[in-house]
Chains A and B, each alone.
Chain A
């Protein structure tokens, strides 16, 4: 049988480094907030002829929209992010662009006022906190009959923070490298990741719970490892399913749900790593009172 638990300090190292990097990214780069949280307008237009994105940016600056962001979409359209535009201002802007680059078609237009943006941010934070809290309450409830259910609940929380933090860290890095933004679909993705991550961890912990009851081995370490290996195929197969559907969505749909799909893809990979390698290991470390020990020393198996 594969021995996963004995390498636990390596996993802690990997996770620790990833968390540290994420915190650094978030502290240094922050997150680019999208339209919904920062207000402004976004217009998707397509030109009837080839237009160079840089020339477009230059022309936007000429028209008085110097801080605009220009992105090209999969279909060859341009997504232009500007300050808050009224209909009149938008029409003037489009007329100006048409003068320079020829006929254009407006495919979509979205504009959000600053007060609404603030309201959206506030509601979203409340929702994230509420969702996490209610799910953890449920976990504590579901594992209430297990001895030391508090430990399971805490480990869940750590796992959750781990997944969300690293996923957000990845987005922070990509925000700098590729201009990725945090929008409502990102938040939806984060909630889905929290769900998937909890699901994975539930399956592993559910098995540990069952095997502890069966009394497979007096050593908690052995029981935990046994449970992980038993559920490994399930975790991998479910992740493969998620990867299949997300990659298909990325390749064929994209558009407004692109952010959501990326979060789900990245988050569920991190979540799988976490629930197979990290979360059960944490439980073992806690169960065996190894908090004082550190990397490089193989701890003695003790009674659970």
Chain B
């Protein structure tokens, strides 16, 4: 018995050493994982959820359309230089984009979800319905009949070699070339629209210039092979050009959820939660030691081990720690302590009943087990449900984070609060201290 316990203790010590090796130094790399992953609310960043407009998508094609959208967004985000961006599908028609630690300009942000399909329009005539309305008037798509089919003029007829340049006056130009079909379309349309404005639209909005006004050049000559768009800001022109070359979104996206946290606000929370965690654990340990004495002290040691093991798991999986996740971790400390309290209260009763320390320990642990098990099962149920719903709602990341850390914490606590505390307690069996039951339990009239 004693021999087995020593073995268990050595294994615990080895595991603890392993945890420290994984965790320290804080930013060190182990098994390809560096530092603890912090969520957007802690290190700042942008979290957006888009809903894809699936009208017009054939049944059965939804998944491949969404995959296409994700691939395009990926291409757009890559040049931003964000480390570890997350782009994934959520539910039937939503796409989550997480850009941790990124400071993205408004233009770049808008570009991520933009269709990147430019449509050209002409002013409507008498009695015609408008597709777009802006400061310059009401517009309909500019069309021409090519080989007997009426077609709209859009950037899908661009060759994928658009670029940005400046003219002699320093104006920014987005230069594009038409492909064969585009050339015919453009020729027909510009012939018809000479001296009239040609509107440019992206999705439901007019393309805006640097001055905030819609870009709608007046057609001066028939355009056949190439053209230029003037008036965009440099930034806008460059990202638009990249997108036109990289490919457009198969369906329009609508931004339905956005959370933008500045890194400054996040940094405050990191140090605050660190402080809260340390103070919380210290107070709980003090309480345990004052109330339960030696077992309380041993439970505190187990709690330190518990903290280290938890963080190690967080680092290795890796679990992204959010503020809510830290909340879950702190609640799991409560669960770990609760298991010990249940056990110690049982031990106290057994000692009161006149048992020796050794048998009181064993009885305490085995009798408290059913309550520990039942209460942990309900915790698991709650956590699993939180993880599932958190993954299904746009703003659900905190809920999921809480569920995950609490689940891990509850599982780890079943191991540390039971195995570790018991192994440590058994060390005292058979030593001189074992007869001083008052050290093991308050208010027991044991031998002093």
Binding site for B on A (CB under 8 A): 35-36, 44, 75, 77, 87, 91, 105-113, 115-116, 119-120, 123-124, 126-127, 130-131, 134-135, 138-139, 142, 184-185, 187-188, 191-192, 194-195, 198-199, 202-203, 206, 230-231, 233-234, 237-238, 240-242, 244-245, 248-249, 251-253, 255-257, 260-261, 264
Contacts and interface: CB of A to CB of B under 8 A. Distances in A.
Nearest to A192: B331
Given A206-B371, A233-B345, A256-B398, A110 B260 contact: yes
Interface string B351-388: 00000000000000000001100110111011001101
Contacts of B392: 123
A230 B331 CA distance: 25
Given A135-B378, A252-B272, 15 more contacts: A105-B262, A112-B394, A119-B393, A123-B393, A134-B381, A138-B378, A188-B386, A192-B382, A231-B345, A241-B337, A245-B284, A252-B273, A252-B279, A255-B272, A261-B327
A223 to B, nearest CB: 16
A300 to B, nearest CB: 30
B262 A241 contact: no
Nearest to B330: A245
Contact of A108 (B259, B284, B399): B259
B106 A91 contact: yes
A254 B398 CA distance: 14
A87 B259 CA distance: 12
A251 B278 CA distance: 13
Interface in B374-416: 374-375, 377-379, 381-382, 385-386, 388-389, 392-396, 398-399, 402, 406
Contacts of A249: 276, 280, 327, 330
Given A109-B259, A188-B402, A195-B378, A252 B275 contact: yes
B336 to A, nearest CB: 9
10 contacts: A116-B393, A116-B395, A120-B393, A127-B389, A135-B378, A184-B398, A234-B345, A238-B334, A241-B341, A253-B326
Interface string B257-282: 11111101100110011011001100
B109 interface: yes
Interface of B: 41, 49, 51, 106, 109-110, 254-262, 264-265, 268-269, 272-273, 275-276, 279-280, 283-284, 287, 291, 323-324, 326-327, 330-331, 333-334, 337-338, 341-342, 345, 349, 370-371, 374-375, 377-379, 381-382, 385-386, 388-389, 392-396, 398-399, 402, 406
B143 to A, nearest CB: 30
B256 A245 contact: no
A19 B377 CA distance: 28
A87 B106 contact: yes
Of the candidates A75, A135, A192, the one having the most CB atoms from chain B within 10 angstroms of its own CB is: A192
B385 A131 contact: yes
Contact of A230 (B330, B349, B370, B381): B349
Nearest to A191: B382
A135 B345 contact: no
Contacts of B406: 192
A244 B333 CA distance: 11
Contacts of B110: 87
Contacts of A124: 389, 393
- Dominant secondary structure at the A interface: helix
A135 B382 contact: yes
Nearest to A115: B256
Contact of A248 (B255, B283, B399): B283
Nearest to B341: A237
B95 to A, nearest CB: 13
B398 A241 contact: no
Contact of B342 (A119, A134, A234): A234
A241 to B, nearest CB: 5
B418 to A, nearest CB: 16
Given A241-B338, A244-B284, A257 B258 contact: no
A110 B283 CA distance: 35
Contact of B324 (A188, A206, A245): A188
Contacts of B375: 195, 198-199, 202-203
Nearest to B258: A111
Contacts of B398: 184-185, 188, 256-257
Contact of A257 (B106, B284, B327, B379): B327
Contacts of B396: 120, 123, 184
B204 to A, nearest CB: 12
Given A116-B395, A135-B382, A253 B349 contact: no
B108 to A, nearest CB: 11
B323 A107 contact: no
Q: Which 5 A-B pairs have the closest CB atoms?
A: A199-B375, A252-B276, A113-B256, A107-B265, A248-B280
B279 A188 contact: no
Contact of B382 (A75, A195, A202): A195
A241 B284 contact: yes
Contacts of A120: 393-396
A131 to B, nearest CB: 5
Given A87-B110, A244-B284, A253-B326, A111 B378 contact: no
A85 to B, nearest CB: 9
A47 to B, nearest CB: 14
Name the residue in B41, B327, B345 with the highest tally of chain A Cβ atoms < 10 Å from its Cβ.
Answer: B327
Contact of A253 (B255, B256, B264, B273): B273
Contacts of A139: 378
A302 B356 CA distance: 38
A191 to B, nearest CB: 5
Contact of B370 (A107, A111, A194, A206): A206
B257 A111 contact: yes
A78 B70 CA distance: 35
B280 A107 contact: no
Nearest to B44: A108
Contacts of B402: 188, 260
A260 B324 contact: yes
Which of B109, B326, B342, B381 gathers the greatest number of chain A CB atoms within 10 Å?
Answer: B381
Contact of B256 (A108, A116, A131): A116
A230 to B, nearest CB: 7
B149 to A, nearest CB: 37
B9 to A, nearest CB: 26
Contacts of A188: 324, 386, 398-399, 402
Nearest to A260: B327
Contacts of A252: 272-273, 275-276, 279
Nearest to B442: A233
Contacts of A35: 395
